[in-house]
């Protein structure tokens, strides 16, 4: 490409130790704890997976705005060169890079990369050889002081030096032989490194845990199903065996309110996945949003988005925190676009429901909502041997790509999918195992960008993506004070007007957007960073010729 502003940096295989050429740039590596805030992070840092504790993915920068976006061009590209990944083909960047002291840190399964944020120059790389974990994705690293924290696919919690990528220690947190696998970016809260786990078909139990940043030792562990019969929540399970094989994985990063000192986390589907006859009841605390004390792991409140889930609808989608006035009263709120096809708004101080509204079809897998605002499952829409049709995609209406909340428009944005699906039951025994069924037969699927009214749950506007195959996987969403919304569309990076949904600008990339975009400023210049397949892109404004 003949573009004066763009520099292509294709990675070559370097040693683990930092190349001496870049040593002067890597002094004072540490992350200032003051950068970790609920809202309003510093301009020159992106210190967590979501940018701040809220999960809003809203940038207060406005150098790139509706008047200047036409001048946005690729500044540099950084392409991975690690070869095919076991079981998944080519590498894909799903992590959102951290930016600290002018350096970007990002991941794919088994690898951490550090590059110069201004130029895309490679600084160092950390490689890990896993022993059998699933390589379905990796969301990124967490940072505490001078240290980075990473989770390998097969359940190793690893600390490396941010200066050179040298391994500090590693601790085992999940057993891949039980088909646990780990994909999340650790969340740093005070002196706690919060990590979660994923799982597959072995009907294992989910958990969230806190680790010491200095030693990696366990501080607390909270299980997503109760410990024993008689404990709170155990009444929603038929017996101890079902409860201890009940699933509820915690594989995406959560959010945190420092003022309330509460963690907010999404939990995964119940197990066996599609065959629910052996676990009658609502199966707490699977498919839920939970609020936990980060110092103790104690549960403060919960809200179940898909009670007795039988459709593989992980409820791990980001619980986004924002403040707004409703009926004249300032409220501390939490919003989530759930994989089950419903949009929820809760009071984050106590979990009280304010909005429950389907966004994919009519939400006909539910008969309505209960007194808590939780959907009531419709038995006729549970998986059946001959299939049961629902008016949303069988595998869910949204997934892991991060959403955004814009305080200027007071709208909640996410990429999702509409259509129809069929859920099947294969295992009709009293004690089913594994999946026990499946979802398929998706019809009339359409991928779309949704803008939701937080007070009513009404779809303010919707932009249907072209050429996405109805997958809804158009990457994450970023909104900015420049009155722009960035996300993927038809294999391109696109800027929309967040108030109306009108496309304003497009940039063709080599592959479709595959992560959550981010933005920050260095040397007075605003950067937009986005991953697309095996390539990381940095875009900045250029002068008119």
DSSP one-letter string for 28-47 = S-PBPGGG--SS---TT-B-
CA distances from 19 to 126, 250, 273 (A): 13, 37, 48
pLDDT at 473: 60
Q: How many CB atoms lie within 10 A of CB 386?
A: 7
Mean pLDDT of 229-258: 97
Q: Are 159 and 149 in contact (CB under 8 A)?
A: yes
Is the pLDDT score of 4 beyond 50?
A: no
Any idea which of 85-89, 229-233, 365-369, 389-393 has the lowest mean pLDDT? Answer: 85-89
pLDDT at 322: 98
pLDDT at 127: 96
Q: Which 3-state string (H, E, C) describes 78-143?
A: EECCCCCECCCECCCCCCCCEEECCEEEEEECCEEEEEECCCCCEEEEEECCCCCCCCCCCCCCEE
pLDDT at 84: 79
> Residue 224: which of 314, 291, 285 has the closest Cα?
285
Q: Is the peptide bond before 285 cis (omega within 30 degrees of 0)?
A: yes
Is residue 522 helix, strand or coil? strand
Q: How many CB atoms lie within 10 A of CB 12?
A: 8
pLDDT at 13: 41
| Residue 199 phi, psi dihedral angles, 5° rounding | -155, 170
| pLDDT tens for each residue of 471-492 | 446 899 999 999 999 999 988 9
Q: Which 3-state string (H, E, C) describes 162-215?
A: CCCCCEEEEEECCCHHHCEECCCCCEEECCEEEEECEECCCCCECEEEEECCCC
Is the pLDDT score of 139 beyond 50?
A: yes
Is the pLDDT score of 545 beyond 50?
A: no
| Residue 484 phi, psi dihedral angles, 5° rounding | -135, 150
Is the pLDDT score of 351 beyond 80?
A: yes
Q: Are 180 and 131 in contact (CB under 8 A)?
A: no
pLDDT at 232: 97
544 vs 501: CA distance, rounded Å: 27
pLDDT at 449: 97
Active site residue 312: yes
Domains of the chain in sequence order: 7-541 (2.140.10.10)
pLDDT at 81: 87
pLDDT at 519: 98
Q: Are 412 and 335 in contact (CB under 8 A)?
A: yes
Is residue 376 helix, strand or coil? strand
When the pLDDT of each residue in the chain is averaged and rounded to a whole number, the result is 92
Mean pLDDT of 272-279: 95
Mean pLDDT of 271-286: 96
Is residue 236 helix, strand or coil? helix
Mean pLDDT of 234-254: 96
323 vs 239: CA distance, rounded Å: 41
pLDDT at 25: 40
Is the pLDDT score of 7 beyond 60?
A: no
Q: How would residue 27 be classed by pLDDT, with cut points 50, 70 and 90?
A: very low
Mean pLDDT of 31-51: 94
Percent residues over pLDDT 70 in the chain:
93
Active-site residue, selected from the candidate residues 312, 427, 489, 534: 312
204 vs 201: CA distance, rounded Å: 8
| pLDDT tens for each residue of 92-125 | 999 999 999 999 999 999 999 999 999 999 999 9
Task: Give all strands (DSSP E) within 348-456, no chain letters.
Answer: 353-358, 366-369, 375-377, 388-390, 404-406, 411-425, 437-453
| pLDDT tens for each residue of 186-230 | 999 999 999 999 987 778 999 999 999 999 999 999 999 999 999
Whole-prediction pTM value? 0.93
Is the pLDDT score of 286 beyond 70?
A: yes
Is the pLDDT score of 66 beyond 50?
A: yes
Residues 6+ apart with CB under 8 A from 520: 43, 44, 45, 46, 59, 61, 99, 117, 526, 527, 529
pLDDT at 467: 57
Q: Which residue has the tokens 């150098």?
A: 63
Dihedral angle at the C-alpha atoms of 518, 521, 527, 533, nearest 10 degrees? -40
Structure tokens given for 207? 């958990």
Mean pLDDT of 239-248: 96
Is the pLDDT score of 509 beyond 90?
A: yes
pLDDT at 86: 78
Mean pLDDT of 44-68: 98
> Residue 211: which of 266, 156, 138 has the closest Cα?
156
Is the pLDDT score of 20 beyond 90?
A: no
């Amino acid at each position: 490409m003949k573009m004066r502003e763009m520099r292509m940096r294709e990675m070559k295989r370097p040693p683990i130790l930092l190349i001496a050429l870049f040593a002067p740039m890597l002094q004072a590596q540490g992350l200032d704890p003051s950068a970790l805030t609920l809202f309003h992070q510093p301009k020159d840092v992106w210190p967590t997976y979501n940018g701040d504790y809220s999960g809003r993915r809203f940038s207060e920068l406005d150098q790139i705005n509706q008047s200047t976006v036409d001048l946005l061009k690729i500044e540099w590209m950084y392409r991975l060169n690690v070869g095919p990944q076991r079981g998944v083909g080519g590498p894909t960047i799903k992590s959102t890079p951290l930016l600290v002291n002018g350096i970007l840190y990002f991941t794919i399964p088994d690898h951490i990369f550090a590059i110069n944020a201004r130029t895309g120059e490679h600084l160092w790389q950390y490689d890990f050889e896993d022993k059998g974990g699933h390589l379905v994705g990796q969301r990124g690293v967490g940072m505490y002081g001078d240290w980075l924290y990473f989770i390998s696919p097969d359940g190793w919690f690893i600390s490396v030096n941010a200066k050179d990528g040298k391994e500090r220690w590693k601790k085992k947190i999940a057993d891949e032989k039980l088909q646990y696998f780990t994909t999340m970016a650790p969340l740093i809260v005070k002196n706690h490194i919060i990590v979660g786990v994923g799982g597959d078909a072995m009907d294992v139990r989910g958990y969230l845990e806190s680790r010491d940043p200095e030693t990696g030792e366990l501080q607390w562990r909270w299980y997503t199903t109760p410990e024993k019969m008689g404990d709170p929540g155990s009444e929603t399970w038929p017996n101890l065996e079902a409860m201890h094989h009940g699933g509820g994985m915690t594989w995406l990063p959560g959010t945190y309110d420092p003022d309330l000192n509460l963690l907010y986390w999404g939990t995964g589907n119940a197990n066996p996945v599609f065959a629910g006859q052996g676990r009658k009841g609502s199966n707490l605390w699977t498919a839920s949003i939970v609020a936990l004390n980060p110092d103790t792991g104690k549960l403060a409140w919960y809200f179940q988005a898909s009670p007795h889930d039988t459709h593989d609808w992980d409820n791990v989608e980001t619980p986004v925190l924002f403040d707004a006035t409703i009926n004249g009263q300032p409220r501390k709120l939490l919003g989530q676009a759930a994989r089950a096809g419903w949009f929820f708004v809760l009071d984050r101080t106590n979990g009280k429901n304010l909005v429950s509204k389907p966004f994919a079809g009519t939400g006909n897998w539910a008969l309505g909502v209960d007194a808590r605002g939780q959907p009531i499952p419709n038995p006729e829409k549970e998986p059946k041997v001959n299939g049961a049709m629902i008016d949303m995609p069988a595998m869910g209406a949204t997934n892991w790509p991060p959403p955004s909340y814009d305080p200027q428009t007071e709208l909640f944005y996410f990429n999702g999918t509409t259509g129809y699906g069929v859920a099947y039951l294969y295992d009709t025994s009293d004690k089913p195992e594994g999946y026990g069924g499946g979802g398929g037969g998706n019809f009339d699927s359409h991928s779309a960008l949704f803008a939701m009214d937080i007070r009513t749950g009404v779809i303010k506007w919707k932009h249907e993506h072209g050429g996405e195959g109805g997958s809804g996987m158009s990457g994450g969403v970023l909104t900015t004070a420049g009155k722009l919304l960035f996300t993927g569309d038809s294999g391109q990076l696109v800027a929309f007007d967040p108030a109306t949904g009108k496309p304003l600008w497009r940039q063709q990339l080599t592959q479709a957007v595959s992560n959550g975009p981010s933005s920050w400023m260095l040397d007075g210049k605003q950067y937009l960073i986005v991953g697309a397949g095996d390539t990381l892109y940095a875009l900045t404004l250029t002068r008119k010729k």
